[in-house]
Amino acid sequence: MSKHLTRDLEDLQRRVMGMATRVEEAIYAALRALKERDSLLAKKVVAADEAIDALENEIYEECLRMIAMHQPVAIDLRQIAATFMVTTDLERMGDLAVEIAERAAALVGLSDLLTERDATGESLSARLSRMADVSTSQVRESLDAFINMAGATARRVMRLDAEVDRLHVEIIRDLMALMRSSPAAVEPGLSLFSAVRSLERIADHATNIAEDVVYLVDGDIVRHQPHCVE
């Protein structure tokens, strides 16, 4: 590998991390806005998405420039190709954070279903917090795995996706029950339904990044396969 390609790959990695930081901040802020019914914070998340979109375009252009200039092969080419895919997943996570923020703004002034409890006495808020914790861990760890080329970390992210899916199903089940039992719960229930679905999709994109890392590190194609990997 030439020193110029090495330098450009390092710069590309820094750009991706800069974008990742903005996306993580957007996700955390959107979830906080949802829990606290903070419409001002929700609007900030929406406004910040333009910068994330601009970073995606910059990284795409840099990837194309590097391919044209350096004509990379083998692992270097795979790394640039993986950066394309990771950047796409990050941009989509940013869009999903916006969708959560918009649902948070829509919930202001409506019934607070998050305080409702199921038959076990657990509140929707507690279950949503657990889902948010696992999902944001997936995002953080998938990016760590990409930067450090850590296959074991990537495989852990993939395994965590089953827990997010389980919590997603449970929350949607409880929301459906609440909406069936009370007409007043329908409007806030639909907004929460959408927000929870967006959070589950954020976890899916983190899993996509982890799958790309496994391919880069181990050469294993694990997309569209059960994630009961060790």
**For 57-75, what is each residue's pLDDT tens digit?**
999 999 999 999 888 888 8
Instruction: Flag whether pLDDT at 224 surpasses 80.
Output: no
Q: Tell me if 154 is assigned to some domain.
A: yes
Number of domains in the chain: 1
Q: Is position 225 within any domain?
A: no
pLDDT digits over 85-130, tens only?
999 999 999 999 999 999 999 998 887 787 877 767 778 889 999 9
Residue 11, in any domain of the structure: yes
Longest dimension (CA), the chain: 66
Kindly state whether residue 229 falls inside one of the protein's structural domains.
no
Residue 228 placed within a domain: no
Cα–Cα dist 154/142, whole Å: 6
In a domain, 227, yes or no: no
Considering only CA atoms, which of 126, 101, 116 is closest in space to residue 184? 116
Task: Supply the pLDDT for residue 229.
Answer: 45
State how far the Cα of 153 lies from the Cα of 156, in Å rounded to an integer: 5
Q: 50 is in which domain, residue-wise?
A: 3-218
In a domain, 230, yes or no: no
> Domain of 179: which CATH number?
1.20.58.220
pTM of the entire predicted model: 0.90
